[in-house]
Amino acid sequence: MFVTEKTSPFPSFRSSIKRYPLHDFDLIFKSFDDKLTSRLKSLAFSSPSHSISLHWLSRAVDLLSDTHADANAVISAMTSAGLSGDSLSFYLDHSVKLLDVCNSISYEIEKLRHRRLLMKFVTHLLKFSGDGDTHPAPENLKKASECIADYERNSRGFAKRRGFKVRDPDVLIRDLVNAIVTISPPRGKISTVERAVLRIIYAVGLFTVFVAGAALSSLCGLPELAKIRVPSEFCWTDSINELQTAIFDSDGRVVLTEVDDVAARAVSLRVLIDGGLTGVGEIARSEIAVKEIEILMDKMGEGLDRLDNGVNKLFGVVLSARNGVLDNYRVGPIEKRRK
């Protein structure tokens, strides 16, 4: 588990801003922080559940996209006032790591889709007559049991697309965390605009680590990859800390409810199949289990599609913002030379 430090990298940030009365940055921060607080509260749970749904995860990714869009708008507006290469490089470093995370989440979505196809095949094999008397052929029962066993193994052997490189989730999150904790005010004199941009990058970075960590932890079935500790200077500190407490259990794990529900029913169905379905009662229970799995498969398919669309949107927002910063990075010095 990789933990960001409690100490804020901006120990005297607010006091330094007040020395520059010509810039109303407090108003900018308040607007940004208020929006982020509202978004975090909309993700809140009434009580700790230690689980999340694909719907919740999709919404979290959508809100992260909106936050990145807000941050980009603020940074673009401030860029006209002049920024050093250090500030822009911080943003570029963070954004490229987030693009890697998006690719990793998309890869995990494809793995779940592959597993979903396995279970769809199982339900196809187990076509009951509906009269509670006859059941599928023995060879179909055997094949269905083997497919369920493959599903339970989490399909770790899922083939990677040719030319598509995916890094380990723990490495990705560690890099994302390191990109955030290294943000600190440069030594010596620094402009108010410079501090403002770094603060926005730091804030959106913390939210990014939270959402990315929750996504990859739940999709990969791994212990908590990163727990962020938000400095008390932010008005949304309590909101994000409460969310972490709600979704992660004492072992740092979070369950994806749709995947957990399917797995539980799949195990029960395999036990019935391996028992031979010798009685009317076993056949009836198997038929009910198949119908339940079909319903869950449809729900999972819809959830994965929505999450995939959300990740694609986030990728596009970050890539667009990154290209804009790169353009300013290249064009800025040329404009200055012309003057």
**What band does 293 get if pLDDT is binned at 50, 70 and 90?**
very high
Segment 77-97 mean pLDDT: 69
Percent residues over pLDDT 70 in the chain = 76
Provide the domain limits for residue 262. 2-332
Q: Is residue 179 part of a domain?
A: yes
Q: Is residue 254 part of a domain?
A: yes
pTM for the full model? 0.83
The string of pLDDT tens digits covering residues 137-176 is: 888 888 999 889 888 876 444 444 434 455 688 888 888 8
Q: Is residue 113 part of a domain?
A: yes
| pLDDT-wise least confident of 38-42, 204-208, 277-281 | 277-281
Q: Is residue 338 part of a domain?
A: no
Is residue 6 scored above 60 in pLDDT? no
| Per-residue exposure over 131-167, b if at least 16 CB sit within 10 Å of its own CB, e if not | eeeebbeeebbebbbebbebbeeebeeeeeeeeeeee
Number of structural domains the chain divides into: 1
Which of 61-65, 113-117, 258-262 is predicted most confidently? 61-65
The string of pLDDT tens digits covering residues 110-128 is: 989 988 998 999 998 887 6
- Residues 323-327: contacts with CB under 8 Å, at least 24 apart: 324/72, 324/76, 325/75, 325/79, 325/88, 325/91, 325/92, 325/95, 326/92
Q: Is residue 337 part of a domain?
A: no
Per the CB < 8 A criterion, the answer to whether 293 and 262 are in contact is: yes
Q: Considering only CA atoms, which of 48, 80, 108, 28 is closest in space to residue 311?
A: 108
Q: Is residue 339 part of a domain?
A: no
Structure confidence at residue 85 (pLDDT): 59
Q: Is residue 77 part of a domain?
A: yes
**Rounded distance between C-alpha atoms, residue 140 and residue 144, angstroms:** 6
The string of pLDDT tens digits covering residues 218-247 is: 998 887 677 777 888 889 999 999 998 899
**Rounded distance between C-alpha atoms, residue 64 and residue 207, angstroms:** 7
